[in-house]
Amino acid sequence: MAFSFEIDKTAEGGGRRGRLTLPHGVVETPVFMPVGTAASVKAVPQDVLEEIGAGGKGAQIILANTYHLYLRPGHELAGRMGGVHRFMSWERPMLTDSGGFQVFSLSGLRKVTPEGVEFRSHLDGSKHFFSPEHSMDVQIALGADIAMVFDECVEHPASYERTRESMGLTHAWARRSKDHFENHKERVPWFEALGGDTQRLFGIVQGGMYVDLRKESAERLVEMDLPGYAIGGLAVGEPREVTREMIARTLEFLPKDKPRYVMGVGYPDEIEEYAKMGVDMMDCVLPTRAGRHGLLFTSTGRLNIKKLEYAEDQRPIDAVCECMVCKRYTRAYLRHLYASGEPLAGTLNSVHNLHFYLATMERIRAELAGVSGKAVS
Amino acid sequence: MAFSFEIDKTAEGGGRRGRLTLPHGVVETPVFMPVGTAASVKAVPQDVLEEIGAGGKGAQIILANTYHLYLRPGHELAGRMGGVHRFMSWERPMLTDSGGFQVFSLSGLRKVTPEGVEFRSHLDGSKHFFSPEHSMDVQIALGADIAMVFDECVEHPASYERTRESMGLTHAWARRSKDHFENHKERVPWFEALGGDTQRLFGIVQGGMYVDLRKESAERLVEMDLPGYAIGGLAVGEPREVTREMIARTLEFLPKDKPRYVMGVGYPDEIEEYAKMGVDMMDCVLPTRAGRHGLLFTSTGRLNIKKLEYAEDQRPIDAVCECMVCKRYTRAYLRHLYASGEPLAGTLNSVHNLHFYLATMERIRAELAGVSGKAVS
């Protein structure tokens, strides 16, 4: 399946209804990608993941974390198993991050040089080194449909100078990522099985909270002519208006005919807002992580299932939700599971939240398809 | 649905192929009951529980623990929710233990008098008191199809004197349990919904590891004319030959036309052995607890999934197993999930083990049905 990105309609606000064709399938955009950190969307079996969301369509694409999979089970092992798709029995599209963000989250455990990043494992303190080239090798072995360039994600807040310097490193690393990826992409484990098709490498725009740096970063990356672009370094603690402004001001400088991806966001109203601004892809741990902590998203707002007020509440989480959890279980039961530390709580809460996110995206796609927008071929 | 127990065939060894009709459905015997401690078979969603086992039939009956549900969410709350069936959305048969065994497991936290047992919650140290009457009230509110008399389970090893004394208490408590149950059984939450049908109360034979006490205990309980009898106080640390002898010697004194239930056993070969000796019902936490600890049961023996030797093993857990886990996932992936502490490990391992137990029972039932045994009406 050759790579392509088609846009059917673009709405006034910039939102696009499109279709991303990847080696492992077609993804309707805008899309939300559940996060399967260590080759598992936490607490959710793959067959359930294939069935949640509006109309039982399931998740179209999931994200897996390069850093975590590099440490366990190891990218070489995953490669020998045929890549992460086959390893975890997920035959639909997949994206891996570059490992950069996670490595940079290991504050105190890392050391950055122009060559790459030395860091210590959060698991056992062992020393490791990631360069752009190594990130590419790891991601090629993992074998997701989409790989990401290795970038530096600057801390927040960061000065203009610090941000510009970091951005320069990101650009140099993007170039090195691309060069290495182009020379080795035929090594993806499923290269022959899929008739010589391979992964695609997306760029990542940095530039912190400075509009001119965001513009510069977008322009430098667009010069590299990558098949898609992410906006990184957001949702790192800045106010939400700043996140939105950075997204809006960066989108201006990204090619309209390529997929645009905002990494690591967000709450349901945020993903809706960004999708309607023209973001095609998003991912976030929030639906699963919040679910494991008892925070549930509904059509009428958030609900903290641990509260005593739900102890005898015989209603479903959300009266209008069609997920398997809302069809079967009461708030009273879900509160009991959570309060009792039952492992089923994590599963059911995550399933509901993921369904809510995917159903939200389905609604947004329908809205964008119905909007009389200009056709972009 | 009126209560009945029918036996189609009895094999040479004593094993019986039968059918137990309960208010919430019919149970093919011999049967293994998965344990849903706190109204959840740990880590396994109810829809999966309805589909595991040979032929996708699912679990026919589950056990819930009175002690745990009494503490959380509380039997009165469960009663107001319509009983545990409705609370957890499990419309098939269910059995509750009496709380006795669990209370007696709280060594150091309990004090036994002829009136009952004072104990401290393992959760918060709060003081509670269980008498036979209270156990009945709790079990009636929980509303399982089968309730159990409140008994004392003697520690192992225990002297003859100590065991006989404890057994006497068990018999007195069984009488008090029955009296209270008979006077209050119409209070079960689904009494009207099921047309005036109600729970049934089973007795529990004690007597430790002394054959003459087992005989005496069986005789005393049979005099109470209860609809079914359990053999309690086994699998408490004694050698397996002793367990088997106690079961064999107790079965002799239990009525052949009533269901016989051995509590809290065992490994797959044990449940097979006991079923073939004429035990109709068994329950055990082993398939789920072992699963959460990475121990898997297969047609060729046990497998400890955490072992390095499975790291790249692309085979299913068990080549001849038809469960959803074996059909989809490799040992390599399951080892990774376990080693990474992924919550999905507990779910998938438990599903496989439960399937193995239920499929084992299905095979035994078929064997017993095929045996040319004498018909017992």
Nearest to A72 among B87, B340, B347 (CB): B340
Cross-chain Cβ contact A73/B336 below 8 Å: yes
* Structural Rg of chain A based on CA atoms: 20
Band of pLDDT at residue B372, cut at 50, 70 and 90: very low
Which pLDDT does position B54 carry in this prediction?
87
Report pLDDT for A101: 84
Q: Among A90-94, A107-111, A290-294, whose mean pLDDT is lowest?
A: A107-111
Contact B93, B126 (CB under 8 A): no
Cα separation of B343 and A292, whole Å?
A: 10
Query: Chain A: nearest CA to B88, how far in angstroms?
Result: 6
Average pLDDT estimate for B288-307: 98
d(CA A116, CA B12): 74
- Condensed to tens digits (0 to 9), the pLDDT of residues B100-129 reads 888 888 877 789 999 999 999 999 999 999
- How far apart are the C-alpha atoms of B179 and B183, rounded to whole Å? 6
Judging contacts by C-beta atoms under 8 Å, the chain A residues touching residue B46 are: 328
Query: What is the C-alpha to C-alpha distance for residues B99 and B151, in angstroms, rounded to an integer?
Result: 9
Write out pLDDT tens, residues A17-43.
999 999 999 999 999 999 999 999 999
Pick the catalytic residue from B151, B197, B283, B318. B283
Q: Which of the four pLDDT bands, split at 50, 70 and 90, describes residue A110?
A: confident
Size of interface A-B (CB pairs under 8 A): 106
What is the mean predicted confidence (pLDDT) over B314-341? Answer: 98
**Pick from A97, A172, A169: nearest CA to A136:** A97
Helix (H, G, I), strand (E, B) or coil at B265: coil
Contact residues, chain A, for B324 at CB < 8 Å: 47
Specify whether the CB–CB gap between A318 and B72 falls below 8 A: no
Q: Which residues of A touch B (CB under 8 A)?
A: 38-40, 42-47, 68, 72-73, 77, 80-81, 87-89, 292, 311-312, 314, 324, 328-330, 332-333, 336-337, 339-340, 342-344, 346-348
B73 — phi, psi (to 5°)? -85, 0
Say which amino acid occupies B78: A
Question: Nearest residue of B to residue A328 by CA position?
Answer: B89
Nearest partner of A218 among A250, A247, A192, judged by Cα:
A250
Reply yes or no on whether B283 is catalytic: yes
Do A67 and A75 contact (CB within 8 A), yes or no? no
Please name the member of B43, B311, B314 whose beta carbon is closest to the beta carbon of A343. Answer: B43
Contact A40 B344 (CB under 8 A): yes
CB contact under 8 A, A46 and B328: yes
Q: Which of chain B's residues have a Cβ under 8 Å away from the Cβ of A81?
A: 312, 314, 330, 332-333
HSE on the CB side for B193, CA within 13 Å? Answer: 12
Q: Mean pLDDT over residues B40-67, rounded?
A: 96
Q: Which two tokens stand for residue A270?
A: 């945020």
C-alpha to C-alpha distance for A279 and A272, rounded to whole angstroms: 10
Burial zone of A2 (CB within 10 Å; 0-12 exposed, 13-18 middle, 19+ buried): exposed
Using CA atoms, how far apart are residues B363 and B371, in angstroms rounded to an integer? Answer: 12
Q: How confident is the model at residue A320 (pLDDT cuts 50, 70, 90)?
A: very high
What's the pTM?
0.97
Among B123, B142, B306, B340, which would you mutate to test the A interface (most chain A Cβ atoms within 10 Å of its Cβ)? B340
Residue of A151, A283, A313, A318 marked catalytic: A283
Q: Is-catalytic flag, A145?
A: no
Lowest-pLDDT range, A102-106, A185-189, B329-333, B363-367?
Answer: A102-106
**Residue in B43, B72, B336 nearest the CB of A340:** B72
Q: What is the pLDDT of residues A72-94, one digit of tens each?
A: 999 999 999 999 999 999 999 99
Q: CA angle, B303 as apex, B300 and B308 as ends, to 5°?
A: 135
Computed over every residue of chain A, the mean pLDDT equals 95
Give the pLDDT band of residue B193 (cuts 50, 70, 90): very high
Q: Per-residue confidence at A363, pLDDT binned at 50, 70, 90?
A: very high
Question: What is the rounded average pLDDT of the residues A218-242?
Answer: 97
Answer yes or no: do B340 and A81 touch at CB < 8 A.
no
Task: Please answer yes or no on whether A343 and B339 come within 8 Å at the CB atom.
Answer: no
The proportion of chain B whose per-residue pLDDT surpasses 70, expressed as a percent, equals 98
The pLDDT tens digits of the residues spanning A178-213 come to 999 999 999 999 999 999 999 999 999 999 999 999
pLDDT at B338: 98
Chain B residues contacting A via beta carbons under 8 Å: 38-40, 42-47, 68, 72-73, 77, 80-81, 87-89, 292, 311-312, 314, 324, 328-330, 332-333, 336-337, 339-340, 342-344, 346-348
CB distance A336–B312 less than 8 Å? no
pLDDT class of A373 with cuts at 50, 70, 90: very low
Q: What is the pLDDT of residues B62-93, one digit of tens each?
A: 999 999 999 999 999 999 999 999 999 999 99
Min mean pLDDT across A110-119, B163-172, B350-359 is at A110-119
pLDDT exceeds cutoff 50 at A282: yes
Rounded average pLDDT over A151-156 = 91
Q: Measured between beta carbons, which residues in chain A are less than 8 angstroms from residue B83?
A: none
pLDDT for the residue numbered B371: 58
Q: How confident is the model at residue A371 (pLDDT cuts 50, 70, 90)?
A: low
Q: In chain A, whose CA is at the least distance from the CA of B349?
A: A45
- B203 with B249: CB under 8 angstroms? no
Q: What is the DSSP string of B143-206?
A: T-SEEE-------SS--HHHHHHHHHHHHHHHHHHHHHHHHHGGGSTTTTTTTT---EEEEEE-
Six token digits for residue A182? 């182009």
d(CA A134, CA A131): 5
Q: Which of B336, B337, B354 to mutate to test the interface with A (most CBs of A within 10 A)?
A: B336
Tell me if residue A84 falls in helix, strand or coil.
helix
Check CB contact under 8 Å for A332 and B87: yes
Has residue B16 got a pLDDT over 90? Answer: yes
Q: Is B14 helix (H, G, I), strand (E, B) or coil?
A: coil
**A344 with B40: Cβ contact below 8 A:** yes
Q: Do A342 and B89 touch (CB under 8 A)?
A: no
Give the model's pLDDT for residue A102: 83
H or E element at residue B343: helix B343-370
C-alpha–C-alpha distance, residues B293 and A295, integer Å? 28
Distance from CA of B253 to the nearest CA of A (A): 40
CB A136 within 8 A of CB A173: no
Q: What is the pLDDT of residue B374?
A: 45
Would the CB atoms of A89 and B342 count as touching at under 8 Å? no
Flag the least confident range among A251-260, A363-372, B200-209: A363-372
Take residue B213 and report the two structure tokens written for it. 């006490």
Residue B377 has pLDDT above 80, yes or no: no
Determine the Cα–Cα distance for residues B353 and B314; give it in Å rounded to an integer: 19
Q: Is B207 exposed, middle or buried (0-12, 13-18, 19+ CB in 10 A)?
A: buried
What is the C-alpha to C-alpha distance for residues A67 and A196, in angstroms, rounded to an integer?
27
Q: What is the pLDDT of residues B212-271, one digit of tens each?
A: 999 999 999 999 999 999 999 999 999 999 999 999 999 999 999 999 999 999 999 999
